Amino acid sequence: MDFDLTDDQRLLKDSVDRLIADRYDFEQRKKARTEKDGWSRAMWAQFAELGLLGLPFAEEHGGFGGGPVETMIVMEAFGRGLVLEPFLATVILGGGLVRRLGSAAQQDALLPQVAAGKLLLAFAHVERFSRYDLSDVQATATRAGDGWVLNGEKSVVLHGDCADKLLVTARTAGGRHDRAGIGLFLVDAAAAGVSRKGYATQDGLRAAEVAFANAPAEAVLGDPGGALPGVERVVDEAIAAICAEAVGLMQCMHDITVDYMKTRQQFGRAIGSFQVLQHRSVDMLVALEQARSMAMFATMMAADEDETIRRRSVSAAKVQIGRSGRHVGQEAVQLHGGIAMTMEYKVGHYFKRMTMLEMLFGDADTHQKIVSEMGSLF
């Protein structure tokens, strides 16, 4: 085991860190939010130029050939920047699904475009009643001639409003909760029968409600009745990625809080001179380090071929991230006092993003249940 980064990884880290430090401060982010998509196309082009949009893809697909550690490095930096762009939706989820489920021809057609920043993807999966259960799918896909048509509604599709193409789970057979009978379909967002309602999310990013009324699918990815295992695998990879993002958020909340404690004066001295507050910031650090460790664990295990080990490990990490994130977020606000309750101050935005990541793909209790039902971690 070696916790040190390789030279190439260090290079990647330096360049992403520099990009976030130079081009992604709070004011720049605020401005990007007012752009048409709610994020910056110019920034997206920069990501493409740095090779980030092809980060996990093979070199023949215009990719960087990076593994889970590379994803972790980038996601942590994006957490620090509170990045608005659809990296998770397009590269990790969309790209991941194409990689894991698509045919060689489909990968050749789609991935290079994603890597070049010319194609935005989104993963349309959650439904009104499915909550965090990946096998709960009611949208349907039915055969029509050579192809498929989709019917149903998908909820809280991350960056679904700006996506060019949607990767949609739909049932081709079986009952509502059956693991078998779920397919993954590629649908052009502009196709007839697709309607979208985009909105801002609590953390300032974007999502959409998407409805399909006899919408034609462009393609099916993989076995039309057997997509679930692949989908689960990609979601696990995405969870590992957002664990890393959450570590970036927590790190920033902790740094900002400690800085503030050293400068904020009350009763004629810095509030950081109160030992009781020092201890609170120490407990935040402990929570952060536990989370960082588990984010690394998730990174290590997300590609494990053994499904049980992979699920259990990733869920364990999600539990830790959820609990640590809630603690660090709440304490960051509390130790600041009133200032942290305002939109004008940065820390509240970290707190909100952290809260959304805590809920995304299942909150801590949901994953706690998964871990406890899958036996011991040791």
Partner 1 sequence: MDLNFTPEEIAFRDECRRFFRQEFPEAIRRKVLEGQHLTREEIVTSHRLLNARGWATPNWPKEWGGQDWSPVQLYFYQDEMQQAGVPSPLGFNTSMVGPVIAQFGNLATKERFLAKTANLDIWWCQGFSEPGAGSDLAGLRTRAERRGDTWVINGQKTWTTLAQHADWIFVLCRTDPAAKKQEGISFILAPMDTPGITRRPIQTIDGGHEVNEIFFDDVVVPAENLVGEVNKGWDYAKFLLGNERTGIARVGFSKARLKRIRELASLEHVGSHRIIDDPKFREKLSAVEIELKALEMTQLRVVAGDRKRDKGKPDPASSILKLKGSQIQQTSTELLMEVVGPYVMPFAMSDEGSGRNETGYGPDYAAGAAPAYFNTRKVSIYGGSNEIQRNIIAKAILGF
Ligand X SMILES: Cc1cc2nc3c(=O)[nH]c(=O)nc-3n(C[C@H](O)[C@H](O)[C@H](O)COP(=O)(O)OP(=O)(O)OC[C@H]3O[C@@H](n4cnc5c(N)ncnc54)[C@H](O)[C@@H]3O)c2cc1C
- Taking contact as CB under 8 A, which single stretch among the options 79-87, 107-115, 192-200, 226-234 is the one that binds partner 1? 192-200
Neighbours of 222 (CB within 10 A): 18
Question: Closest separation between CB of residue 177 and partner 1, Å?
Answer: 6
Phi and psi (nearest 5°) for 286? -60, -45
Q: How far is CA 375 from CA 133, 233, 308, 367, in A?
A: 20, 19, 10, 13
Q: Which does 346 bind (CB under 5 to 8 A by kind): partner 1, ligand X, none?
A: none
- Taking contact as CB under 8 A, which single stretch among the options 2-10, 72-80, 210-218, 266-274 is the one that binds partner 1? 266-274
Question: Closest separation between CB of residue 267 and partner 1, Å?
Answer: 5
Q: Alpha-carbon torsion 222, 226, 228, 233, what sign?
A: negative
Strands 182-188 and 165-171: antiparallel
Question: Closest separation between CB of residue 288 and ligand X, Å?
Answer: 18
- Cα(378)–Cα(355) distance, integer angstroms: 29
> Are 349 and 256 contacting, i.e. CB atoms less than 8 angstroms apart?
no
Contact call for residue 344 and partner 1 (CB under 8 A): yes
Burial class (CB in 10 A: 0-12, 13-18, 19+), 13: middle
The one among 52, 122, 207, 228 contacting partner 1 by CB under 8 A: 207
Q: Which does 136 bind (CB under 5 to 8 A by kind): ligand X, partner 1, none?
A: partner 1
- In the shown chain, the binding pattern of residues 119 to 138 toward partner 1, with x for contact by CB under 8 A and - for none, equals -------x-xx-xxx--x--
Phi and psi (nearest 5°) for 143? -65, 140
- Cα(43)–Cα(24) distance, integer angstroms: 9
Residue 79's H or E segment, with its range, is helix 68-81
- Cα(60)–Cα(57) distance, integer angstroms: 8
Question: Closest separation between CB of residue 274 and ligand X, Å?
Answer: 4
Contact call for residue 69 and partner 1 (CB under 8 A): no
> Are 254 and 328 contacting, i.e. CB atoms less than 8 angstroms apart?
yes
- Cα(17)–Cα(210) distance, integer angstroms: 35
Q: How far is CA 76 from CA 40, 66, 73, 250, in A?
A: 19, 15, 5, 10
Q: Indicate the residue among 186 and 332 with the shorter CB distance to ligand X.
A: 332
Nearest residue to 73 (alpha-carbon basis) of 245, 301, 233, 290: 245
Q: How many of the chain's residues bind partner 1 (CB under 8 A)?
A: 47
Q: Indicate the residue among 6 and 372 with the shorter CB distance to partner 1.
A: 372
Q: Indicate the residue among 12 and 335 with the shorter CB distance to ligand X.
A: 335
Contact call for residue 342 and partner 1 (CB under 8 A): yes
Question: Closest separation between CB of residue 338 and partner 1, Å?
Answer: 5
- Cα(208)–Cα(211) distance, integer angstroms: 10
Contact call for residue 178 and partner 1 (CB under 8 A): no
- Taking contact as CB under 8 A, which single stretch among the options 102-110, 226-234, 302-310, 352-360 is the one that binds partner 1? 352-360
Q: Indicate the residue among 113 and 281 with the shorter CB distance to ligand X.
A: 281
Question: Closest separation between CB of residue 275 and ligand X, Å?
Answer: 9
Residues near ligand X (CB under 6 A) are 264, 266-267, 271, 274, 276-277, 334-335, 337-338, 341
- Cα(127)–Cα(357) distance, integer angstroms: 18
- Taking contact as CB under 8 A, which single stretch among the options 31-39, 86-94, 95-103, 263-271 is the one that binds partner 1? 263-271
- Taking contact as CB under 8 A, which single stretch among the options 53-61, 87-95, 283-291, 347-355 is the one that binds partner 1? 347-355
- Cα(371)–Cα(237) distance, integer angstroms: 17
Question: Closest separation between CB of residue 334 and ligand X, Å?
Answer: 5
Binding site for partner 1 (CB under 8 A): 126, 128-129, 131-133, 136, 155-156, 177, 197, 199-202, 204, 207, 209, 265-268, 274, 276-277, 326, 330, 333-334, 337-338, 340-344, 348-349, 351-352, 355-356, 359-360, 363, 365, 369
